[in-house]
A and B are shown apart, each in its own frame.
Chain A
Amino acid sequence: MTTTLATESLRLDVDGRVLVDVLDLRIVDGEVWAVIGPNGAGKSTLLRTLAGLRAPDGGAVQLDGRDLATYRPRELARRRGFLPQSVVDAFSLTVWDAVAAARHPHLPFWHWGDDGDDTTRRALALFELEALADRDVTTLSGGERQRVNIAALFAQDVAFLLLDEPLSSLDLHQQMKVLHALERTAVREERAIVYSVHDINLAARHATHAILLDGQGHAIAGDIATVITSDHLSAAFHHPIHGVDIDGERFFRAGRLTDTTP
């Protein structure tokens, strides 16, 4: 079964400021989308809107042809998962419990929520968290906590994964692990991934499509090669960004500021 997340002339406002004026998207399974743009351009707002956690300020978001607002929260939680930018834990709980809790939408109301779940175990294994299973999440480092929350998203076992800056605070090895896991699950298990990221080069290498926001109403969405170009990037970031070819791969680097000496 193919799943589609589509927007029709989506508009996003924050405090009367138009972040995205018109955005038409069609995300289907097997695709990996990177959301890029300067600070405050609306990356998180877009992800939260696509997740149905926030109503669009104009236009519509549809999951499988049905408006997101018509889904019951539990129903939606069985179809799409969302990783917030930060999860701050006020209370102690084990890594295992944090990941297993994400099985919630799949369990009936009266279900206690049992131990020994294979999906939970696989999610922990995928992000090398078995050794940490009994640790208290509040004692973990930022990167470990981030992996726990990504593992929880995998335990939720949904067709659409929306991740708000999943790579922040991860070391290089873990960044590659997470990107690999995302790309792999998109292709092998026919899921659709949307993640926001600051590193343009990572996005260019680990996504099939991209959405570039400039925070002033313009949004470009489409195939990665057509969206991520020096011209588009320079315009969106208001900064000269050049493409450099190294070993046949294109890298982007920001130009040094020359108008003032450091």
Chain B
Amino acid sequence: MRQGDTHRRIPRNATFASAMRVWAVMLVVAAVVAFACLLCGSGEVRLDDAWAALWTDADTPARAIVRELRIPRTIAAFGVGGLLAMSGCLMQVLVRNPLADPYTLGLSGGAAVGALGAMLAGAGAFWIAAGAASGALLACLAVFVLAHRELLSRQRAGQRDDATDLILTGVMLAAGSGAIVSMMLVLAPDRNLRGMLFWMMGDLSGVSWWGLPVLCLLVGLLFVVPLGRQLNLLARGEESASALGVRPGAVKAAIFVVSSIATAVAVTTAGTIGFVGLVVPHALRRVIGNDQRVLVPASAIGGGTLVMIADTASRVVADPIQLPVGAVMAVIGVPTFLFLLARRR
């Protein structure tokens, strides 16, 4: 370190090779974690049985559990975590505020209202998913229209910084949907209550379209990663970004759409799982720096890994009872976040 440079070094991540190294290491970790998640679970299946079940075609009960329950669930967990962390990362750039994530912007609140409304009406799984998706997208639309009118106008880089508007609108929407949700919970008949509570706290058991989140994650990343340089410029401010040839309106609209769809898919699959979108990009920023070209894919991998761990913990800790993964996530996420924050000072 240079003389007199007593400040914390933050990594410079400018080369493609170094980015590839970061991603490769994280993918290896994710793969190891995924295997561990497949092997661990409720006590009925022993570790060696689970290991054998992965590789043999022998028709054992362990094989059915591992192949038909754990594999889909683990893949879904990775996809959901990846989507949430990616959209959290994008939304933080969008509003230039490290506190933004799908939940602080009110998207999950909207999804909860939609899904719980469907449950209250006694609808089936399809309509619950449809309710969640439309709730999330409606909340997006509301944030978009209320706080971001100029996103649509052709005005070149307004001087006004509307990040505060956006986040306040999101917080208000979240508070409003929170109120509606509690009313619904009070009105709900007892037999629906448990399902509703689990949905609200995030639940990966009985995931139906388990491949969808991973697929959406891949498509989203392919769309967003080429915008990396522009995201970096946008993170420093709209005025300077547009002076450097970025169309802030177009890029912001693109990342808003991508992160909204990502959140909608994640919420539809697994209910509300908080903290992933907030904690993962934050933690990674401390380690690999704030270069969006590297950070967005890294967040996706990291978020996926974290939710896989949280989901396995939710299955194992209180076996045979399954805990809601959202609550487990919060138990892991809150101390991690506070630790990172405290170390920074």
Contacts and interface: CB of A to CB of B under 8 A. Distances in A.
Interface stretch (B241-249, B262-270, B305-313, B332-340): B241-249
B243 A104 contact: no
A96 interface: yes
B243 A97 contact: no
B178 interface: no
Interface residues of A, number: 48
Given A51-B243, A53-B243, A107-B229, A93 B9 contact: no
Nearest to A138: B10
Interface string A90-121: 11111011101110110101111111000000
A90 B10 contact: no
A131 B243 contact: no
Contacts of A177: none
A53 B229 contact: no
Given A91-B98, A92-B10, A110-B226, A55 B289 contact: no
Given A107-B229, A110-B226, A135 B245 contact: no
Contacts of A52: 156
Given A90-B235, A91-B290, A93-B291, A73 B246 contact: yes
A27 B22 CA distance: 48
A78 B156 contact: no
B253 to A, nearest CB: 15
Interface residues of B, number: 41
A250 interface: no
Interface stretch (B11-19, B45-53, B75-83, B200-208): B11-19
Interface string B223-258: 000101110110111011011111100000000000
A78 B96 CA distance: 26
B97 interface: yes
Contact of B7 (A48, A93, A105, A139): A139
B70 interface: no
B246 A97 contact: no
Nearest to B286: A92
Contacts of B242: 53, 73
Interface in A63-100: 72-78, 81-84, 87-94, 96-98, 100
A84 B16 CA distance: 30
Contacts of A97: 12, 14, 232, 289, 291
A74 B293 CA distance: 19
A136 B7 contact: yes
Contact of B236 (A101, A112, A113, A135): A101
A83 B10 CA distance: 25
A156 interface: yes
A170 B159 CA distance: 24
B245 A74 contact: yes
A93 B226 contact: no
B157 interface: yes
21 contacts: A52-B156, A76-B245, A77-B244, A81-B244, A83-B240, A87-B237, A89-B236, A90-B97, A93-B290, A94-B289, A101-B233, A102-B244, A104-B230, A104-B246, A105-B244, A112-B16, A114-B14, A115-B12, A131-B5, A134-B10, A136-B10
Interface of A: 48, 51-55, 72-78, 81-84, 87-94, 96-98, 100-102, 104-105, 107, 109-115, 131, 134-136, 139, 149, 156
